Structure 1
């Protein structure tokens, strides 16, 4: 180890990982499909300083009590809450055969928890970056998404796909990440909205997630069952003609969403690469309608936000994230962003909902070392 790296390890390291907004491609990742997320400036920051080997202590600015554990405490699901993501990273690295340094981890974040902006993936990837850096672990960033997904799937118990971890790790400033969730091949698609006079507004509905873990798992199980009935490894491999071959109406609707959503992602990428950012609006709206009617993962707050944004002049709008609460994304003219945001806020007041938080989303870079 060089003298510079030795000093860095002794003093500690600081890593940041952003949240993400998924422009389009919802519930396609665990069906081996296509997604198009981008990172946002809001992020989780982790400072890691050395502790004796085999001991980890984590504190968070959003929690009053620290989390501490040693190697003998690494049991999937423990500790509960945010600490499981920290322990899960240590567990996953050790399961992969790496020597993980003991560390004191100080965590801060300006990402809203539960808003569907991947605060959990940001936490896991920021901790991962800090521990890999602190311990000089030979794990290239290209392999971080898979390991971070393992944290959520096998340790935390959330059966998510790999989109969030990929976006949080790999995104480039000013671009969206076009990801093939089967091969993990990716490319960066220019998302120069400002140059086109456009803004992507994020509407955090602040609606509490309802039944999200159980319903998410149910959607995933239905898709797997449909793929088995159709004789394919994943729904990525079928077209719309396959829908009528399914005996269950629920399966037909779920598969129709996945198939058409993959098509929308590909068309969105084509339009963006051709410089037609304004033209993606109808694709966003069609995605929301599919998620509402065929995949059944919206809630009233999401539907009201989309309807109000469209009525106020948005080119398109859709829920983003897993659904059952969370955020809406609206594509608007920059000079009308405040007007659209006010219209959504007024609609929420009319329906008796809590006031939403509306802010512009700027494509940012993925996980990075700060110091």
Structure 2
């Protein structure tokens, strides 16, 4: 939506008011490092060209009114107060409330805003549409109140803010949304947040394919996501109880022994489920380090092999894949991808595949014809050749 269109759409919904601020916040695709962020281990995502956009007009009072160009999402209104009561669980307006609650507590904001939301990040597809919405609302309310917060702190604040909607976020989505860099993927570490931009080889492309199975983290899939958080914490606590010298965090743990040694020691302590969760976390953290080295070296076969190993671990040890995602992965590999894996929380959503630039359209065509068309899914919009994009920003209209 260009500025002229945004102004007309905004004016039609908000009593002929004119927006003065334009906010954009990108979605993301995680290349490798799944379910590691909330365990304090690194991730390797990139921001993508799909984004959430907000047209914003600051108000003189404390009211926040939120409209969406998509008619499926009804208007939401609330007032900035010290304790903002959430809407019903799963309501889209809770992301605006989460941003507002965090900023009231952190910065004491008192000035509301009218917000018109639109965007093209697929919903509940594992591409972080919800976190992009939260970040966009945060930046809009900050700008409306003429308040600035340093980006690294804002990454951590937005991660905590998402707990307002009931998601135990680890911080990856908010960090890449705010810190993305065109042409680069980011290796992101946590506690505190820090990141390294890794230049993507010019002839690499990442193809994203949507399974059509929705898995929104503010709704039913949230229970599965949060359950993994508890299982990983329980596994670490049991290891600490049985090994007097065990470090207190996963980040400390992986510096003391190899993945194989850690899993070997865990076998005598953990039951089958917790052992498999533990094995995924420590092996996935190691794969992020190896993937960084592969990208720096331009070694696509190695990077692809790591993606394949990640998917197998997510499927067999973490139990977050599904037949649809597994089928998409098989189609991508058979069409010539170096590697493919589910991306995002799992339980549906998307896969990501690494291909040569010259092979991208062939892989896209294969996925559309072999998976999407037979299911009656919209083939054109279901597969995307992703481009690494810059992080979120605010500008005047």
Would you say same fold, with TM above 0.5?
yes
Matched residue, 2:4? none
Question: Which of 46, 53, 61 does residue 45 from structure 1 map onto?
Answer: 53
> Which shows bigger deviation, 298-307 or 11-20?
11-20
Tell me, in whole angstroms, the C-alpha distance in 1 between the residues paired with 2:173 and 2:119: 17
Measure how far apart 1:135 and its partner are: 1.2
Measure how far apart 1:271 and its partner are: 1.6
Structure 2 vs 1, CA of residues 313 and 66 (structure 1 numbering), >3 Å: closer, same or farther? same
Tell me, in whole angstroms, the C-alpha distance in 2 between the residues paired with 1:47 and 1:257: 41
Structure 2 vs 1, CA of residues 96 and 79 (structure 1 numbering), >3 Å: closer, same or farther? farther
Question: Which of 292, 299, 305 does residue 315 from structure 2 map onto?
Answer: 292
Measure how far apart 1:265 and its partner are: 0.3
The answer as to 2:329 corresponding to 1:306 is yes
Name the SS for the 1:96 alignment partner: helix
Question: Which of 20, 24, 46 does residue 32 from structure 2 map onto?
Answer: 24
Give TM-score, length-normalised by structure 1.
0.91
Measure how far apart 1:202 and its partner are: 0.4
Note if contact 1:22-1:37 (Cα within 8 Å) is conserved in structure 2: yes
The answer as to 2:101 corresponding to 1:91 is yes
Measure how far apart 1:158 and its partner are: 0.9
Write the deviation string for residues 99-137 of structure 1: whole angstroms up to 9, x where unpaired.
Answer: 242111111111111111000111111111111122121
Matched residue, 1:252? 275
In the TM superposition, 1:37-186 aligns within 5 A as: 37-63=45-71, 64-72=73-81, 74-78=83-87, 80=89, 81-153=91-163, 155-186=164-195
Note if contact 1:74-1:87 (Cα within 8 Å) is conserved in structure 2: no
Measure how far apart 1:278 and its partner are: 4.6
Name the SS for the 1:139 alignment partner: coil
> Which shows bigger deviation, 47-56 or 212-221?
47-56
Give TM-score, length-normalised by structure 2.
0.85
Tell me, in whole angstroms, the C-alpha distance in 1 between the residues paired with 2:52 and 2:375: 32
Name the SS for the 1:77 alignment partner: coil
Note if contact 2:27-2:127 (Cα within 8 Å) is conserved in structure 1: yes
Structure 2 vs 1, CA of residues 298 and 146 (structure 1 numbering), >3 Å: closer, same or farther? same
Name the SS for the 2:391 alignment partner: coil
After superposition, the CA RMSD in angstroms is: 2.0
Write the deviation string for residues 280-316 of structure 1: whole angstroms up to 9, x where unpaired.
Answer: 1111111111101111100111000001111111100
The answer as to 2:20 corresponding to 1:12 is yes
Measure how far apart 1:349 and its partner are: 5.9
Note if contact 1:90-1:100 (Cα within 8 Å) is conserved in structure 2: no
Measure how far apart 1:367 and its partner are: 0.4
Name the SS for the 1:104 alignment partner: strand
Structure 2 vs 1, CA of residues 285 and 78 (structure 1 numbering), >3 Å: closer, same or farther? same
Structure 2 vs 1, CA of residues 76 and 300 (structure 1 numbering), >3 Å: closer, same or farther? farther
Tell me, in whole angstroms, the C-alpha distance in 2 between the residues paired with 1:68 and 1:349: 38
Name the SS for the 2:43 alignment partner: strand
Note if contact 2:80-2:112 (Cα within 8 Å) is conserved in structure 1: no
Measure how far apart 1:262 and its partner are: 0.6
Matched residue, 2:295? 272
Structure 2 vs 1, CA of residues 187 and 349 (structure 1 numbering), >3 Å: closer, same or farther? closer
Measure how far apart 1:345 and its partner are: 2.8
Measure how far apart 1:276 and its partner are: 2.7
Gaps of 5+ in 2: 1-17, 241-246
Note if contact 1:79-1:87 (Cα within 8 Å) is conserved in structure 2: no
Measure how far apart 1:342 and its partner are: 2.7
Write the deviation string for residues 255-277 of structure 1: whole angstroms up to 9, x where unpaired.
Answer: 11111111110011112122334
Matched residue, 2:243? none
The answer as to 2:366 corresponding to 1:346 is no
Gaps of 5+ in 1: 1-9
Tell me, in whole angstroms, the C-alpha distance in 2 between the residues paired with 1:122 and 1:100: 23
Question: Which of 205, 211, 223 does residue 199 from structure 1 map onto?
Answer: 205
